[in-house]
């Protein structure tokens, strides 16, 4: 198998956009946590604590998503370096590790989105119950 130096470079734009999306998710959740903390200080509620716990898990997952995304980018650059100095075998392995790291990042992202969707369903179910009363 041969690998051109341009092939790992293809991950740059995709990985950069993914990292930007992860950062936006993180910032949004951080804003929500700050608001919930303020609400909890005003009115202590176990429901707010559960929401904060859920958001804390999601923040941790986003951190791992970002770490594996950055690792993917790093390994991709390292693969290009190996290809540049005519170490094709190492370049292929590093590129493979880069793809694997990106796959892990996307898998964690899928998990985080699933948790987010479940939390929204739970939140909406409270509205439906309130509407019935």
- Among left, alpha and beta (phi > 0; psi -120 to 50; other), residue 113 is alpha
Q: Is 43 helix (H, G, I), strand (E, B) or coil?
A: coil
Q: Sorting pLDDT into bands at 50, 70 and 90, what band is 100?
A: very high
Query: How far is residue 73's CA from residue 10's CA, in Å, rounded to a whole number?
Result: 10
Query: How far is residue 57's CA from residue 34's CA, in Å, rounded to a whole number?
Result: 15
pTM, entire model: 0.82
- Which tokens in the block code for residue 49? 């604590």
The residue with greater pLDDT, 112 or 126, is 112
Q: What is the pLDDT of residue 130?
A: 58
The residue-averaged pLDDT of 83-108 equals 94
pLDDT surpasses 90 at 41: no
Domain ranges of the chain: 6-132
pLDDT surpasses 70 at 78: yes
- DSSP tag of 11: H
Q: What is the pLDDT of residue 105?
A: 96
């Amino acid at each position: 198998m041969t690998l051109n130096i341009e092939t790992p470079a293809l991950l740059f734009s995709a990985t950069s956009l993914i990292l930007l999306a992860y950062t936006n998710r993180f910032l949004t959740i951080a804003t929500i946590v700050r608001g919930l903390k303020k609400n909890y200080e005003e009115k202590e509620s176990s429901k707010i604590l559960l929401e904060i716990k859920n958001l804390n898990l999601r923040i941790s997952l986003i951190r791992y998503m970002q770490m594996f995304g950055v690792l993917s980018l790093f390994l991709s650059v390292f693969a290009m370096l190996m290809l540049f100095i005519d170490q094709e075998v190492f370049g292929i392995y590093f590129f493979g590790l880069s793809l694997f790291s990106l796959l892990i990042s996307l898998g964690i992202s899928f998990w985080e989105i699933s948790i987010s969707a479940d939390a929204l369903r739970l939140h909406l179910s409270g509205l439906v119950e309130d509407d019935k009363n």
